[in-house]
Amino acid sequence: MLPTATIKQRALELGFDLVGIAPPSAVKDLEFLPQWIKKGYGGEMRYLSNPQREDPRLVLPSIKSIICVGLIYNTSYPYSTEITEIARCEKDGPSGVKSEGDAPPRGWISRYAWGKDYHKVMRKKLEHLRTTLEQSSEGVETRVYVDTGPIMERAFARLSGIGWMGKNTCLINEQKGSWFFLGVILTNLELDWDVPAPDRCGSCTCCLEACPTGALREPYVMDASRCISYLNIELRSVIPAEFRTAIGRNVFGCDICQDVCPWNSRPLSLVSGPLPIDAFREDGFSAGSAARRAATASVPEFQPLEVEIKSGGLISESTDETKPAAQSLPPKSFSLFNPTLEDLASMAEEDFRRVFAHSPIKRTKYRGWLRNLCVAMGNSGDPQFVPWLESAAANSDPIVAEHATWALRQLLSGG
C-alpha cells in the first residue's frame, strides 16, 4: 500500500494546490445539514436532502479515508469590489477623469466561471490520482466526486486540514486564501488522517457586513435562499422582487463575500482604499499582513474566456413580439472579465449554447441568462436598454417577460 506521504506528493505532482486526508466521519458537520434544510435555507435545492449526504458509508460501505484536494482558480484580475471602487473614484474624480456616466454599464460573472468547467478539469486530475491508488495494491475501492455527488466536500476538507470554515461558509487556507475548488476521493485504504486547521476568522465580520442580500444570517450560517449565487444560478423560477435591486450587476454568481475577506487580500498597490485588517490585530496579525496576496492559478483553463459572437445581437427593437430579436451585426468578441451588459446581451441562444458548452455558466440555461440580464439592466439606470427590455417583456417565457417588465419599471421610474 502506498504511504500517505506518497499519495499527497502524487496529488501535488498532478497540479493540485492543497491535499489532506480526512476520517470518514464528520458527525458535527453532517448533523447540521438536516437542521439547515429544515429552516428553509436550502431553497429549492432538493438534492441536498439526499440521505447519502449524511453518511459517506452509504456511498462506499468499506470507506476508511477521504482524500481531499484543492485547486486554485483565482487569477490576477481585480475583484468585483475593486472594480466598483474604481468606478466610484472615477465618478467622484477631478475634471477630465472619465466619469461613471461615460462608462458602459457592466455585468459581473463570478470568478469561478470565467474559464472552463472546473468539474472536468478537477475530475481529470482526480482520475489520475485514483489510478495511482488502485494500482498500488489489490482490492482498493474508490469513489471520486467533484461537487456533483452526495458528499459534503467542505465538511471533510475542513477535517483534512486544508482550510477552516470561514464565517462566509467558504473554506479558507491560511497561505492561499479561499479561491479554490474542492474534490474528494473516498477509499477503503487506511491512511494517516490530518488534523483540522484552526479557525482564524477572529472577530472579523467583513463578509457578513458586505453581503447585499443578508444571506449570511450569522457567522458560519448561510441562508442560500437569499444568496445571489443561488438566486441567479440555482433558482429556476422567479427571483423574489425584494432581492432584485441588491443583486446589482451580478449576472452569474457573486464574489463579494470572498472579495472582502482579508485572507484574500491584494497587494496595497492593487487596492483602492484601506484593507479591513483592524479586526485581526487582536489575533496576532501585523500591519504587514495587509500585503498578503491570495494565491493565483497557473491553470490556463481558469483564465477569462474570450467569447466570440457569430450569430448577431439581441439588442434591438423586435419585430417578433414573442422574444428579443437578433439583428445582423458583425462578429464580435469580448472577455468574461468585467464584460459590458451590451456584450452579454448580444448572445443569441445559439451563441449561448456554443460558447458555454464547456462552462459552468451553462447551468443557468438561456432562460435564466435572459432573466439575470433583465435584473442587471434594471439596476444599471441606463435607458439604452429600454428597447431590449421591451422586446424581452414580450417574450413567450413568462419568467423572462416578468423580469423584463420589472426592469423597465426600474429604468423608467428612475429606480
Return averaged pLDDT per consecutive 10 residues of the chain, 415 residues in all: 92 97 84 86 85 87 97 94 67 46 87 96 96 93 92 93 97 96 97 96 97 97 97 96 98 98 71 36 34 78 91 44 46 92 95 95 97 98 96 96 98 82
311 and 180 together in one domain: no
Q: What integer pLDDT is reported at residue 312 of this predicted model?
A: 53
- Here the cell at position 411 is 429604468
Catalytic residue among 147, 199, 382, 397: 147
User: Residue 97 domain-assigned?
Assistant: no
67 beta partners: 21, 185
User: Residue 24 domain-assigned?
Assistant: yes
Choosing from 187, 209, 230, the residue where a domain stops is 187
180 and 319 together in one domain: no
Q: How many Cβ atoms are within 10 Å of 190's Cβ, its own excluded?
A: 10
Contacts of 31 (CB under 8 A, 6+ apart): 54
Full residue range of the structural domain in which residue 183 is found = 4-74+116-187
User: Residue 38 domain-assigned?
Assistant: yes
User: Residue 22 domain-assigned?
Assistant: yes
- Here the cell at position 237 is 423560477
173 and 24 together in one domain: yes
Rg (CA), the chain: 23
Q: What integer pLDDT is reported at residue 267 of this predicted model?
A: 53
Q: Which amino acid is at 376?
A: A
Choosing from 143, 166, 187, the residue where a domain stops is 187
Q: What integer pLDDT is reported at residue 26 of this predicted model?
A: 76
Q: Which amino acid is at 220?
A: Y
Q: What integer pLDDT is reported at residue 283 of this predicted model?
A: 33
Contact 168, 216 (CB under 8 A): yes
Contact 187, 135 (CB under 8 A): no
Choosing from 162, 187, 212, the residue where a domain stops is 187
Question: For residues 269 and 290, what is the distance between their CA atoms, to the nearest angstrom?
Answer: 11
Q: Quote the crossing angle between the two packed helices 398-412 and 365-380, to the nearest 10°.
A: 10
Domains: count for the chain:
2
Q: What integer pLDDT is reported at residue 132 of this predicted model?
A: 95
Q: What integer pLDDT is reported at residue 32 of this predicted model?
A: 84
Question: For residues 27 and 41, what is the distance between their CA atoms, to the nearest angstrom?
Answer: 20
Question: For residues 124 and 69, what is the distance between their CA atoms, to the nearest angstrom?
Answer: 13
User: Residue 293 domain-assigned?
Assistant: no
User: Residue 147 catalytic?
Assistant: yes
| Cα–Cα nearest to 64, from 186, 194, 195, 196 | 186
| Burial class (CB within 10 angstroms; exposed 0-12, middle 13-18, buried 19+) of 381 | middle
User: Residue 107 domain-assigned?
Assistant: no
User: Residue 102 domain-assigned?
Assistant: no
Residue corresponding to grid cell 462608462: 103
User: Residue 203 domain-assigned?
Assistant: no
171 and 313 together in one domain: no
Phi/psi of residue 74, nearest 5 degrees? -65, 150
Question: For residues 255 and 305, what is the distance between their CA atoms, to the nearest angstrom?
Answer: 18
